Amino acid sequence: MKICVDENIPLATVAALRALDHDVLDIRKTPEQGMPDDLLWELVTKEQRLLITTDKGFVQHRNELHYGILVVRLRQPNERRIHERAMRAIEVFAPGEWRGLTVVVRDNVQSLTRASTRPGP
- Give the span between the Cα atoms of 96 and 14, in whole angstroms: 20
Whether 104 is in a domain gets the answer yes
| CATH code of the domain in which 24 resides | 3.40.50
Q: Determine the structural domain holding residue 104 and report its residue range.
A: 2-114
Enter the DSSP assignment of 17.
H
pTM assigned to the model: 0.90
Whether 120 is in a domain gets the answer no
What's the pLDDT tens digit per position in 76-111? 999 999 999 999 999 999 999 999 999 999 987 677
Whether 121 is in a domain gets the answer no
What confidence tier does 30 reach under pLDDT thresholds 50, 70, 90? confident
Whether 65 is in a domain gets the answer yes
Whether 40 is in a domain gets the answer yes
Whether 73 is in a domain gets the answer yes
Neighbours of 91 (CB within 10 A): 9
- Give the span between the Cα atoms of 29 and 42, in whole angstroms: 19
Work out how many domains the chain is built from and give that number: 1
Please check whether residue 72 is in contact with residue 90, taking contact to mean a CB–CB distance below 8 angstroms. no
